[in-house]
């Protein structure tokens, strides 16, 4: 049975509701990790590797230890549990031992705790590390040669593939075959609040951890391993989290392990907050991906075959790369019905910063490439870019690149048609042509993109794909909700409160969604993959429906009416004939006085998926979201500087639960995707990131946002979603880099094959056109 409720008159769902956590944040009352201040609290700091590759010969902490105010300096010898850690592969040391290699500029060698942050920083400078310098591997090309091995097993950790149909037959049946190479670079998450953890001894638990994080249960699993403790001795509570975008999925587990080690040895509270420079230098980024695409099409625009080879730069350690690679694999062939698909992708170690989760999770890079090659095919056929996408779009009855049959909630065509409508596409093309006739040194181009996104963790993550809730209605009618997924700025608390309000019939003002605490709710998987609304939403809905059913039963018996006659709505309960009416708060009190159970747990488990990892075929995800975007970019032909002038986006979200939140998510996703497409560029020298703050790593500002940014949605309900909803967090970003690249290509009449398309890069391709 699904959880989708047929169309009805909702009280809260689909309405414009203020964010439930807005006032506390606007007034500055929200407490983030750096705001904690406890008696006898110490401050942590890290001793980091200062080269990309080398063998540690000696760690001398004598001078640092003698500094007044230093309370602990720890090395690998001070780890009571396991030193070798990793979320998927245990290939990363918590602290690099003497005799072992540092594998990137930023590997952690030692930890310091001191009475003040200033003393801790000074102590870090006094720790002396001797190295034997080793030759680093800093490019994908060098890593693939495998002449210098970063890990003993070699430089390719894992490879994944799809084999659908027969691509050679598909190319033979094609009228045109187009091939090209593409490259998508790093991107930094650039969350407002850097990584931060507070750890303390707790008489009831052992160690309690407060942190800025997406995945408290990851932390609860890793910290006990490092400390040599059992999981019931470590309690993890999410603090207010100032942005994450994937960068706080697995990284807080490492930060928490470092911080908890200092508490373990000092028996005092320790606050460890990364500076912006340390955060950018050491924590995971979006993976660079180099890809080769080969596409076969018929004269009428039907895509017959696609063959893709891609190499993903994982950096020094695997972190979440094997999982990210799965999503890259599934999304590499885009949102199209293609009979013959061949994809090969591998994860390559280099001596650079480890890469991991980032909004879109390995898909923006390959979708940029796929959408570029589709545009090249349209140009070759002299076909409108929208027409070729409509021709090949997925529909009910279509099969995805992994041969998954689509049976419901396929809004792909709707988004294409809607994007053309809201952008007034035909007129937009005329306006662009007129502008280009009148302007010599500035040119405009229209770029379109069409994307697919698999909701939740998919077949590769089914063991984690469940979520729980704990809902308690108090005697006064107020409601506390505990869930396992986190609020990190995306509006999760608001949409969960809305779902609870609708399911219970209580006013949303009486409902509070608390930050996750591992002592209340079972492991609910990570807050990633746009899964919080579907999974935690369903878990909360189930719990609320159980409580409501008991309240209905009590009301029915005490008023001598049938359950079918009872209406719960807007904080009141009444019969359809209005003979009986009572406030929700009052009925809750009556239920308490009659010993009615008013607390419940909800649990939602992913529908099981069939998957063949040998062929890459099967049911990759439980359902998919779709989006289509139209962008107008203007290029200064003298400097190469590009900017987005107009943008129009249509997203299939299943059912709009929180329209205001949806718009906010897409606005943020668009701006972040625009930064990736245009100018966010990580630069390195000998493996060291040189763009390690916001003076040198350029992110979009309010002046970069296009004046015309039209966002709208189509609805194609998903039967397993709460009230029919899917997700929006990651799809909001994913079409943007591709549409911008296509718009610039259209403006300068030369294919953009790299993102970000910086001014320097665009200027160079303009020069190629002139030559």
The secondary structure of 68-108 as a DSSP string is: TTEEEEE-GGG-SS--EE-SSS--EESSPPTTSEE-STT-E
Instruction: Look at residue 580 in the predicted model and tell me its pLDDT.
Output: 96
What's the rounded Cα separation, in Å, for the pair 589 and 585?
Answer: 6
Decide if 106 contacts 351 (C-beta within 8 A).
no
The DSSP bridge partners found for residue 572 are 569, 583
Instruction: Look at residue 203 in the predicted model and tell me its pLDDT.
Output: 81
Helix (H) or strand (E) holding 48: strand 42-48
Phi, psi of 652 (to 5 degrees): -90, 115
Among 557, 582, 605, residue at a domain's last position = 605
Q: Are residues 263 and 353 in the same domain?
A: no
Instruction: Look at residue 3 in the predicted model and tell me its pLDDT.
Output: 47
Instruction: Look at residue 2 in the predicted model and tell me its pLDDT.
Output: 41
Instruction: Look at residue 739 in the predicted model and tell me its pLDDT.
Output: 98
* Residue 269, domain member (yes or no): yes
Helix (H) or strand (E) holding 466: strand 466-473
Q: Are residues 658 and 763 in the same domain?
A: yes
The DSSP bridge partners found for residue 522 are none
DSSP state of 243: -
Number of Cβ within a 10 Å radius of residue 275 = 16
Q: Are residues 454 and 487 in the same domain?
A: no
Q: Are residues 425 and 476 in the same domain?
A: no
Among 549, 570, 605, residue at a domain's last position = 605
Mark 720-732 as b/e (b = at least 16 C-beta within 10 Å): bbbbbbbbbbbbb
Among 246, 273, 300, residue at a domain's last position = 273
Q: Are residues 577 and 695 in the same domain?
A: no
CATH of residue 476's domain is: 3.30.365.10
How many residues make up the chain in this entry? 771
Helix (H) or strand (E) holding 164: strand 156-164
Q: Are residues 388 and 441 in the same domain?
A: yes
What's the rounded Cα separation, in Å, for the pair 120 and 573?
Answer: 59
Q: Are residues 600 and 623 in the same domain?
A: no
Quote the crossing angle between the two packed helices 736-748 and 759-770, to the nearest 10°.
30
**How distant, in Å, are the alpha carbons of 479, 562, 600, 740 from that of 509?**
9, 29, 20, 41
Domain assignment of residue 223, given as a range: 40-134+195-273
* Residue 175, domain member (yes or no): no
Which SS3 state, helix, strand or coil, does residue 600 take? Answer: strand
Half-sphere exposure for 742 (CA within 13 Å, toward CB): 30
Burial of 719 (0-12, 13-18, 19+ CB in 10 A): middle
Residue 406 has which token pair? Answer: 């689509």
Strand ranges, E, within 617-732:
617-618, 624-636, 642-652, 684-685, 688-689, 708-714
Number of domains making up the chain: 3
Instruction: Look at residue 460 in the predicted model and tell me its pLDDT.
Output: 94
What's the rounded Cα separation, in Å, for the pair 771 and 761?
Answer: 16
What is the four-CA torsion angle of 238, 244, 247, 251, rounded to 10 degrees? -10
Q: Are residues 448 and 496 in the same domain?
A: no
* Residue 318, domain member (yes or no): yes
CATH of residue 234's domain is: 3.90.1170.50
* Residue 164, domain member (yes or no): no
Quote the crossing angle between the two packed helices 492-504 and 532-559, to the nearest 10°.
20
Q: Are residues 663 and 721 in the same domain?
A: yes
Q: Are residues 498 and 425 in the same domain?
A: no
* Residue 2, domain member (yes or no): no
* Residue 173, domain member (yes or no): no
Q: Are residues 108 and 230 in the same domain?
A: yes
What's the rounded Cα separation, in Å, for the pair 310 and 483?
Answer: 38
Half-sphere exposure for 188 (CA within 13 Å, toward CB): 29
Q: How far is CA 245 from the centre of its chain?
A: 5
- Radius of gyration over every alpha carbon of the chain, rounded to an integer in angstroms: 27
* Residue 103, domain member (yes or no): yes
> Tokens 């406890």 identify what position?
38
Q: Are residues 449 and 500 in the same domain?
A: no
Decide if 306 contacts 119 (C-beta within 8 A).
no
* Residue 555, domain member (yes or no): yes
Residue 31 has which token pair? Answer: 């407490």
Q: Which residue stretches of the chain have pLDDT < 70?
A: 1-7
**How distant, in Å, are the alpha carbons of 154, 211, 292, 419, 459 from that of 351?**
13, 29, 24, 43, 31
Q: With a threshold of 0.85, does the pTM exceed it?
A: yes
Phi, psi of 69 (to 5 degrees): 100, -10
Decide if 70 contacts 119 (C-beta within 8 A).
yes
């Amino acid at each position: 049975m699904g959880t989708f409720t047929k169309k009805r008159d909702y009280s809260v769902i689909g309405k414009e509701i203020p964010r439930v956590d807005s006032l506390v944040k606007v007034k500055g009352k929200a407490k983030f990790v750096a705001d904690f201040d406890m008696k006898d609290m110490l401050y942590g700091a890290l001793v980091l590797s200062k080269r990309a590759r080398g063998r540690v010969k000696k760690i001398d902490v004598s001078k640092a230890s003698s500094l007044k105010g230093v309370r602990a300096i720890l090395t690998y010898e001070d780890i009571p549990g396991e030193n070798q850690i990793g979320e998927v592969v245990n290939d990363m040391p918590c602290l690099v031992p003497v005799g072992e290699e540092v594998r990137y500029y930023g590997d952690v060698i030692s930890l310091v705790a001191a009475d003040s942050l200033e003393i801790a920083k000074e102590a870090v400078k006094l720790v002396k590390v001797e190295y034997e310098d080793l030759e680093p591997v800093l490019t994908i090309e060098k890593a693939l040669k495998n002449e210098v091995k970063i890990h003993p097993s070699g430089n390719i950790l894992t490879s994944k593939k799809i084999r659908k149909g027969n691509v050679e037959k598909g190319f033979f049946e094609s009228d045109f075959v187009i091939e090209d190479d593409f490259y998508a670079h790093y991107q930094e998450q650039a969350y407002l609040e850097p990584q931060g953890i507070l750890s303390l001894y707790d008489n009831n638990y052992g160690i309690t951890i407060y942190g800025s994080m997406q995945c408290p249960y990851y932390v609860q699993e890793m910290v006990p391993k490092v400390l040599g403790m059992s999981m019931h001795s470590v309690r993890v509570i999410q603090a207010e989290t100032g942005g994450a975008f994937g960068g706080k999925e697995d990284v807080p587990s490492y930060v928490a392990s470092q911080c908890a080690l200092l508490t373990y040895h000092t028996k005092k509270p320790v606050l460890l907050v990364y500076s912006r420079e340390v955060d950018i230098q050491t924590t995971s980024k979006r993976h660079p991906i180099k890809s080769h695409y080969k596409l076969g099409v018929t004269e009428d625009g039907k895509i017959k075959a696609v063959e893709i080879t891609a190499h993903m730069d994982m950096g020094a350690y695997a972190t979440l790369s094997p999982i990210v690679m799965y999503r890259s694999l599934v999304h590499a062939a885009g949102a199209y019905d293609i009979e013959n698909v061949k994809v090969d992708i591998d994860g390559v170690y280099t001596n650079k910063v480890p890469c991991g989760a980032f909004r879109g999770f390995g898909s923006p890079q390959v979708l940029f490439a796929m959408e570029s090659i589709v545009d090249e095919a349209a140009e070759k056929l002299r076909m409108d870019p929208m027409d070729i996408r409509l021709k090949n779009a997925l529909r009910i009855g279509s099969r995805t690149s992994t041969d998954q049959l689509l049976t419901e909630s396929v809004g792909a065509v709707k988004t294409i048609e809607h994007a053309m409508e809201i952008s007034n596409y035909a007129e937009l093309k005329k306006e662009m042509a007129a502008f280009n006739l009148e302007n010599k040194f500035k040119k405009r181009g229209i770029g379109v993109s069409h994307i697919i996104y698999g909701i939740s963790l998919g077949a590769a993550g089914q063991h984690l794909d469940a979520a729980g809730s704990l809902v308690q209605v108090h005697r006064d009618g107020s409601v506390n909700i505990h869930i396992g997924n986190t609020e990190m700025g995306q509006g999760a608390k608001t949409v969960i409160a809305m779902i609870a309000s609708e399911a219970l019939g209580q006013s949303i003002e009486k409902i509070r969604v608390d930050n996750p605490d591992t002592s209340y709710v079972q492991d609910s998987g990570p807050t990633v993959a746009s899964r919080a609304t579907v999974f935690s939403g369903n878990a909360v809905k189930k719990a609320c429906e159980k409580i409501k059913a008991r309240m209905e039963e009590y009301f029915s018996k005490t008023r001598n009416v049938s359950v079918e006659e009872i209406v719960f709505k807007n904080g009141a309960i009444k019969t359809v004939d209005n003979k009986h009416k009572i406030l929700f708060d009052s009925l809750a009190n009556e239920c308490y006085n009659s010993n009615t159970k008013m607390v419940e747990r909800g649990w939602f488990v992913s529908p099981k998926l069939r998957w063949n990892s040998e062929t890459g075929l099967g049911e990759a995800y439980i359902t998919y979201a779709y989006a289509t975007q139209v962008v107008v970019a203007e290029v200064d032909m003298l400097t190469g500087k590009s900017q987005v002038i107009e943008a129009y986006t249509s997203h299939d979200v299943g059912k709009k639960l929180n329209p205001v939140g949806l718009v906010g998510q897409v606005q943020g996703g668009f701006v972040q995707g625009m930064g990736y497409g245009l100018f966010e560029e990580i630069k390195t020298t000998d493996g060291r990131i040189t763009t390690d703050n916001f003076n040198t790593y350029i992110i979009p500002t309010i002046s970069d946002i296009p004046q015309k940014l039209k966002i709208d949605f189509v609805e194609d309900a998903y039967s397993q979603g709460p009230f029919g909803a899917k997700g929006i967090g990651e799809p909001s970003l994913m079409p943007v880099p591709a549409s911008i690249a296509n718009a610039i290509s259209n403006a300068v009449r030369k294919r953009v094959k790299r993102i970000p398309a910086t001014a320097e890069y665009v200027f160079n391709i303009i020069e190629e056109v002139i030559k």
